[in-house]
A and B are shown apart, each in its own frame.
Chain A
Amino acid sequence: MGIFIDAFRGGLAMLVSGAADVWTIVLVSVQVSGAAVLLALVLGIPIGFMLGTKRFVGRRMMLVIANTGMGLPPVVVGLVVAMLLSRRGPLGSLELLYSRPAMVIAQLVIAVPMVAAVSAAAVSAVPRELRLQARSLGASPLQVAIMTLREARMGLLASVAAGFGSIISEVGAVTMVGGNLAGKTRVMTTAIVQYTRMGDYGAALALAVVLMAMVLAVNILLTRVQQSAERYEQ
């Protein structure tokens, strides 16, 4: 067990002393995944709203795609995004490969189906009659949509948590499109892989603790959401 104790001591020292390396990595992680999650909400919630409330041709198909997207293998996303952004790819002229925007794009592709599927479920749990009721009191279509999202807010929070949780701990895609460049595109997960390979268990464990803390926080939020979700079932 000595290995754990030593690594723990070393890692703790790093975190406490504010070793620039470790905290930069954490910061890059939060920036990339934060940006990706925000964009995923902007795109995913309207899609989820459509899927959850409207009846249109192709809806079932889109739901299947969104639900499949939740299980999309990140390495596949990494591969496709890397190919798109590679010098010979269709978006190669943007020169984005091995940059943070490339990582944001890859994480976005992973998170949007997740956010769309979870928010579709949340929105469709709002009774149709409630929307009819809002309309009957004079609400415009936009006002009905705002009311619906407000009613589904706990579920929407869950979609944020699910989206964030899925990409902050993802390693395959970000390595492939980010390249794990120190100080630039190195994030917690890729750094943990790197430090572990180098035998620097202290640094790896320190990052693992921070990552775990974030995932734990997200899951605590999710659990609380689920507890307060039994609202129309009285």
Chain B
Amino acid sequence: MSAPKPADIVVEGVRKSYRGKTVVDVDRLELKAGRTLGLLGPSGSGKSTLLSMIGLLERPDAGTVSVDGREVNATDRQTRMSMAAAFQRPYLFKGTVGDNVAYGLRLRRVPASDTRDRVEAVLTRVGLQGWQDRSALTLSGGEAQRVALARALVLEPRILLLDEPLASLDPVMKWRLARDFARILREEGKTTLYVTHDQDEVLAIADDVAIMRQGRVVASGTGDQVFGLPADDWIAGFLGMEPSIRGRVLDVKDGVARVDCGGVTLYAVAPVAPGAEVLLGVRPEDVVLFEADAIVPLTSARNKIQAVVVQIDPSGSTYRVVIERGPVRIAAKISRSALVDLRLSEGTPVQALFKATAVRVAST
């Protein structure tokens, strides 16, 4: 069976308010055909409402949702039938796993024998081979979420909407499933909207990223663009980074730019011209810290700066350590054991290493 061509979705001027409070106000957002857009934002930023409107489950107060250039709405049955969704809590219907997965197929009057084959195939795909006859109400959270994904995938939708599908799982199950989801979504090549508040999940799963704040899309682009260089201080904070560093390009040699950032020289691989004013950003996981007097092994890291620890925050299972040298502030993500080994505390001098390719650059 050949899957239908993935769809292109454009959201324009979409607004929604509840009881006078605006929850979504998006000028424009594009989901490119066959790619996964990770929609990231804190709780209450309007992500799920936007997903509901794109999924034609909720009507916007204003604005349009277009699929392949044509405006669509909830009465458009054909478009609705080309979408499928799974939500944070995998609500399953009473009955067997097979009944649940077959639900949408039955609505579409797919013949029974065909239904059986497709259910069997999709269950194998999500790692639940032969589970058709189990009761849906006895499953664990991870298993139920797999069933919910299968229930959506089996419809071969052109558009897949996933609303925090991993948020209610324990960490181990979450990452196993995230890996599986990433593989499945890549193989399926469907246009997918993946809503989450977890940026690691987005990094693992999405091709493109949009960040929402208070109902607005405040950043969008490829994962590299959005995560590499935060567009403003709020986004930097949300992504666990420090605000972008201002600098001026001194010279460019072999594609490597030497940038002066208020007395600190950083190297970056970027197509910029000497004299240009630029903004620089480094992902916390790309920064390695050493003790100030350590003899650093030879590495390919071009950037090596002496700095002082100014802030240490726990962040999940890791720590976010902010170092400072003059006007340059950079966050580094390190493990708990590294924190202990380095005996880091506020005021500790350290050496920070990162590659020139890890420095994201934008012209101002």
Binding site for B on A (CB under 8 A): 127, 129-130, 132-140, 143, 147, 150-151, 231, 234
The verdict on A136 contacting B94 (CB below 8 Å), with A143-B107, A231-B137, A234-B137 known, is no
- Is A138 a contact partner of B81 (Cβ separation < 8 A)? yes
B103 at interface (Cβ–Cβ under 8 A)? yes
Q: Who on chain B is nearest to A151 by CB?
A: B94
The minimal Cβ–Cβ distance linking B195 to chain A, given in whole angstroms, is 13
Bound CA span A138–B154, Å? 13
Contacts of A139 in B (CB 8 A): 107
The minimal Cβ–Cβ distance linking B168 to chain A, given in whole angstroms, is 12
Q: Who on chain B is nearest to A147 by CB?
A: B93
Q: Who on chain B is nearest to A131 by CB?
A: B91
B7 at interface (Cβ–Cβ under 8 A)? no
Contacts of A137 in B (CB 8 A): 84-85, 103-104, 107, 151-152, 155
* Number of residues of chain B lying within 8 A (CB) of chain A: 25
Contacts of A135 in B (CB 8 A): 57
Q: Which of A129, A132, A137, A147 has the most CB of B within 10 A?
A: A137
Contacts of B80 in A (CB 8 A): 138
A/B interface sample: 26 pairs, CB < 8 A: A129-B87, A129-B89, A133-B85, A133-B86, A134-B103, A136-B84, A136-B85, A136-B87, A137-B103, A137-B107, A137-B151, A137-B152, A137-B155, A138-B80, A138-B84, A138-B104, A138-B108, A138-B155, A139-B107, A140-B77, A143-B107, A150-B93, A151-B93, A231-B94, A231-B137, A234-B137
Q: Who on chain B is nearest to A130 by CB?
A: B91
Q: DSSP majority for the A interface?
A: helix
Per-residue A-contact encoding for B278-314, CB less than 8 Å = 1, 0 else? 0000000000000000000000000000000000000
Contacts of B243 in A (CB 8 A): none
Contacts of A231 in B (CB 8 A): 94, 137
Q: 8 nearest interchain CB pairs?
A: A136-B85, A137-B104, A130-B91, A138-B81, A129-B91, A138-B107, A133-B91, A138-B104
Bound CA span A130–B95, Å? 14
